[in-house]
Amino acid sequence: MEKKMKHKDVIKLVKRNEAQELVNGSYDYIKKHSENVIIWVVVCAIAVVGSSLFVNFRAANEVKAAQGVAEAAYMMNRQILDDPQAGMYGLFRTKKEKYEKAQAAYMSVINNYKGTKSEPAAYLGTADSYYSNGQYKEAMAYYDDFLKKFPSNPLAGEALSGRAYALFQQGLYSDAAKVWEDVNKKYNGGLNPQDVKLRLADCYLRLNNKEAARAEYQDILKDKSENYWTTAAKDMLSRTN
């Protein structure tokens, strides 16, 4: 007589069959789609390696960009010596040579390391080098570029103030005054508010607004310490009374 299977044994058998089918089904799927699976594994591996390389590449670029800005700043601070041997001492023979080399170093950072943390400093440094070389229109172009590209950068006030300096040097005193007034309003005078007040007073004097100039000098003298700006303000205040 055929022996009957208990209900629980039937359930176990069904489960074993289902498990076997699942294994066989998975094997068949992988076998049929092995090419896609291999591609997927390769893509994942490339993504992991690529991410690591990208991070390392970005880090290397940040270092190179910072070095480029530091090299340009070093050039900006080098002395000028009218001597054939000047180069041996790390000096420059002419002002033109000094600032053109600094500009080239800053421009290298701008062209080769876009998106790095040093890029804003490179734009500002380029503008400053043009200004120091008496190329005021070129300087203004880079100050403007800085303000368009990095409006929230902590150095934005310095770029705006630099624009005012360039305007002042071109004799555009009214325009320069407006820009320095903006520096006071938007950036609380920037990194050197005393200098901004002194230059703003210079503009007012050239525009025959002695009252506004005196107000700026008096504001500077609220600082009781003895420094260049307080000394200059005291001297100029005595001349405008």
Average pLDDT over residues 148-157: 95
pLDDT: which is higher, 2 or 227: 227
Cα separation of 114 and 149, whole Å?
11
pLDDT in tens, 182-234: 999 999 999 999 999 999 999 999 999 999 999 999 999 998 889 999 999 99
Name residue 172's amino acid. Answer: L
Asked if 161 contacts 190 with a C-beta cutoff of 8 angstroms, the reply is yes
pTM score, two decimals? 0.73
| Burial classification of residue 198, based on how many CB atoms lie within 10 Å of its CB (0-12 exposed, 13-18 middle, 19 or more buried) | buried
pLDDT at residue number 126: 96
pLDDT tens by residue, 173-182: 999 999 999 9
Here the tokens at position 77 are: 């601070």
Ranking 41-45, 106-110, 192-196, 233-237 by mean pLDDT, the lowest is 41-45
Nearest CA to 162 out of 135, 152, 217 is that of: 135
CATH numbers and ranges of domains, the chain: 8-133 (no CATH), 154-241 (1.25.40.10)
Percentage of residues of the chain with pLDDT beyond 70: 73
**Is the model's pLDDT at 27 over the cut of 50?**
no
